[in-house]
Amino acid sequence: MAALRTKYVAPPVPRILIHRGTAGNAVAVSKYGDRIRNILGEKSYSVVDASSDGANWAAPSATVVQGTFMRRFARLDLNGVDDVVECFLGNCGGAEKYAGTGEKGITSRMGRNDGSLGDVLAQGAYAALDRVLQSSPEEIISRLAEIGLTGRGGAHFPVAQKWQFARNHLDQQKFLIVNAEEGEPGVFKDRHMLEGDPHRLIEGILIAHHAVQFESVYIYVNGQAKLARFSLEKALSDADQAGIIGGECWGQDFQLTIHVRSGAGGYVCGEESVILNSIEGKRPVPRYKPPFATDFGLFGKPTVINNVETLCAVTTLFDNPPPQTKLISLSGDVPRAGLYEVPVDGAMTWAGMIANTGRNPQEIKAILVGGPSGEFIHFQQFDDVLEMSKLGAGGIIVLNSFTDIQRITNSLAAYNKRESCGECTPCREGSGRLVNLLENVQENEKKIYELVEVMTESSLCQLGGMAGRPILSALEQFANEFDKS
Amino acid sequence: MKEEIFDSTSEAFHEAKNAVGKLPKTRDQLLPALEIFQQKIRWLPESAIEYVANHIMLPISEVYAITTGYSELNLFEPDISQWHVCMGVVCDLAGASELMTCTDNIKQVDCQFLCALAPVVVDQHEQLYGRVTVDNLQKWVKK
């Protein structure tokens, strides 16, 4: 590990990070980066491309870094570019606190590195793995149980338990699948992780490998997330060349192959048994459960399926105390939309979270948590504290007082109808019927409740099982908004 | 169904065939193989499906069935002049429907996962644009 650092880490120099990533690219940030390089002339080597730091609202943005001092310049325009250069040349005015979305936790390196191995090593990458390798697999699993780490993809299954289930199959080949499909409208956390700090995922994978011993790993990336796949593949190749994936730099032989696969669309493709079918080259539809993947998964072998964020969170297992945080993809009517890493330790309320985004919670009617499988949180509940189990995958859409709840409910129902894969009858037929029934809520209210019950009880996967959730939640909390004439 | 007009002698098609030919002949290579064709020639004409089916030794009908399960695999040639407006919930709230009607030759598309910069449009080369206004879009489409 020390040798690795000596070889790759360069001494820190003052520099300007241009926040690219999907968000920066969508507002042509490179134009401002080029202009800064032009102005700096000979010193332009100090200007480096980084990914988004999660603060999408700030794009196009750049951050000046000098030692521990960081200052981000948001919503750049041609005048703003001059301020960035001035600051870099030593005229920053007061030292403003860096208002990033994650100063510690799993987003600590996101948007603060140039994508090179040396840069992330300097910021602590692979230190947890180094420590994990000195512990036994049993110790790792009991540590994860102790800190109570649960899956971050939405189902919140205990990680230690899932890994142990696979470990119980002693002499069989085992697989790890990293679920980076992330097809839920309104969620963009995994892309940010992959674009901004793919080495954290690789570290998480290697920790999981140390604990469970996999034959190989499949990372299943959303087909549209091309930049995420690109930066992941670069990181994999860097880590491979440096002897990290093979384990050579710890004097070991991990014997692990990591494959990257792209999905090709479909909300249902994020469901774990659909991923199994998809990787095996079968039709992308869910499987019956049981058997569960940890017993009979990919190619019939015990398989652990973890979300990107889960494996990233695994790297914090030795932090003291381990950060109890969740990535939140926050959008809707707020001044500062983007990715947030919020504490879920009983201190943060919904109102506090909304206030963090620069919006007065009193101007907000509701928030939609979890998109098409989620539920509405009424403003009267804004003083409740955030709970992991309520956050799903962490997609939050903030709705102002003028929002038409009925329109959103209809649009979510229509989305579930379009995305139903058609494998099971309750979802295939039910999702379409729900759309029709919503046309006349007054007459059909009883039928809606009955149908949702059937779909919840008997659908093959959670796309159908949860399709009624936002509808019932809207009907219960905003009954007066539905056209009952 | 419209008659398939596809030049199977094109260089891109050959490149795709070569790349697919190098993949192992196992079933788990099905999606990667289809993706190679789609990347090179933007869609999956019958000849591409046939080639993949032969390579992996699966019935053509089965490859078709699997292909239709993925919304991003095109069984028809896409219109390359087409712009798309994201109609995800957040973009819809941010006024995407105004963008839909502000100019011709615009189609809607599901969530593009850039919700924080809504409303979002996608150009012919799959490049995303955030915080798009009616003026911007009218200008870009005319170009």
As given in the structure block, the two tokens for residue A385 are: 């504290």
Q: Which of B89, B91, B136, B137 to mutate to test the interface with A (most CBs of A within 10 A)?
A: B89
- The structure tokens 């050959």 sit at B14
- Quote the minimal CA–CA distance from A225 to chain B in Å: 9
User: Residue B105: what pLDDT?
Assistant: 82
Q: Which of B49, B55, B66, B90 to mutate to test the interface with A (most CBs of A within 10 A)?
A: B90
User: Residue A75: what pLDDT?
Assistant: 93
- Stretches where chain A sits below pLDDT 50 are 485
Which residues of chain A have a CB within 8 Å of the CB of B58? Answer: 281
- Quote the minimal CA–CA distance from A338 to chain B in Å: 5
- Quote the minimal CA–CA distance from A185 to chain B in Å: 5
**Secondary element (H or E) of residue A228:** helix A226-241
Between chains, do A22 and B29 touch, taking CB under 8 Å as contact? no
pLDDT tens-digit map of A191-244:
999 999 999 999 999 999 999 999 999 999 999 999 999 999 999 999 999 999
Which residues of chain B have a CB within 8 Å of the CB of A225? Answer: 113
Q: Which of A308, A331, A375, A463 to mutate to test the interface with B (most CBs of B within 10 A)?
A: A331
- Quote the minimal CA–CA distance from B2 to chain A in Å: 24
Measure the CA angle with vertex A261, ends A260 and A262; round to 5°.
Answer: 130
Task: Give DSSP secondary structure letters for chain B.
Answer: -PPP---TTSHHHHHHHHHHHTS-SSGGGHHHHHHHHHHHHSS--HHHHHHHHHHHT--HHHHHHHHTT-TTS-SS---TT-EEEE-SHHHHHTTHHHHHHSSSSEEEES--S-GGG-S-EE-TTS-EE-S--HHHHHHHHH-
- Quote the minimal CA–CA distance from B87 to chain A in Å: 10
The C-alpha atoms of residue A461 and residue A392 are separated, in whole angstroms, by 15
As given in the structure block, the two tokens for residue A377 are: 């949180």
- Cβ-count burial B79-107 (b if 16+ within 10 Å, e if not): eeeebbbbbbbbbbbbebeebbebbeebe
User: Residue B1: what pLDDT?
Assistant: 45
As given in the structure block, the two tokens for residue A96 are: 């403003």
Please, what is the average pLDDT of chain B?
A: 92
- For residue A305, the Cα-to-chain-centroid distance in whole angstroms is 15
Strand order in the sheet with A15-19: A47-50, A15-19, A62-66, A69-73
- Quote the minimal CA–CA distance from A266 to chain B in Å: 6
Exposed/middle/buried for residue A208 (C-beta within 10 Å: 0-12, 13-18, 19+): buried
Three-state DSSP class for A320?
coil
Between chains, do B56 and A281 touch, taking CB under 8 Å as contact? yes
B22-32: average pLDDT? 97
Give the CB-side neighbour count of residue A483, counting CA atoms within 13 A. 9
Kindly provide the ipTM of the predicted complex, given to two decimals. Answer: 0.95
Q: Confirm if B46 and B4 have CB atoms less than 8 A apart.
A: yes
User: Chain A contact for B75, CB < 8 A?
Assistant: no
Say if residue B125's pLDDT is above 90. Answer: no
Closest B-chain CA to A423: B69
User: Chain A contact for B70, CB < 8 A?
Assistant: yes
User: Chain A contact for B92, CB < 8 A?
Assistant: yes
Q: Which residues pair with A369 in a beta bridge?
A: A375, A396
User: Residue A68: what pLDDT?
Assistant: 81
Among residues B71, B42, B93, B19, which one has the least CA distance to residue A412? Answer: B93
Between chains, do A23 and B117 touch, taking CB under 8 Å as contact? yes
User: Residue A96: what pLDDT?
Assistant: 57
The C-alpha atoms of residue A235 and residue A229 are separated, in whole angstroms, by 10
Between chains, do B111 and A330 touch, taking CB under 8 Å as contact? no
Count the neighbouring beta carbons within 10 Å of the beta carbon of residue A250: 18
Task: Sort strands A62-66 and A47-50 into parallel, antiparallel or unpaired.
Answer: unpaired
Between chains, do B72 and A399 touch, taking CB under 8 Å as contact? no
Cβ contacts from A onto B, under 8 A:
137
Closest A-chain CA to B86: A185
pTM: 0.96
**CA Rg value for chain B:** 18
- Quote the minimal CA–CA distance from A294 to chain B in Å: 20
User: Residue B113: what pLDDT?
Assistant: 95
Give the closest of B88, B128, B131 to A22, CB-based.
Answer: B128
Closest B-chain CA to A286: B69
Give the closest of A186, A282, A284 to B90, CB-based.
Answer: A186
**Secondary element (H or E) of residue A68:** none
Three-state DSSP class for A423?
coil
Lowest-confidence region among A56-60, A225-229, B63-67, B76-80: B76-80
Between chains, do B69 and A338 touch, taking CB under 8 Å as contact? no
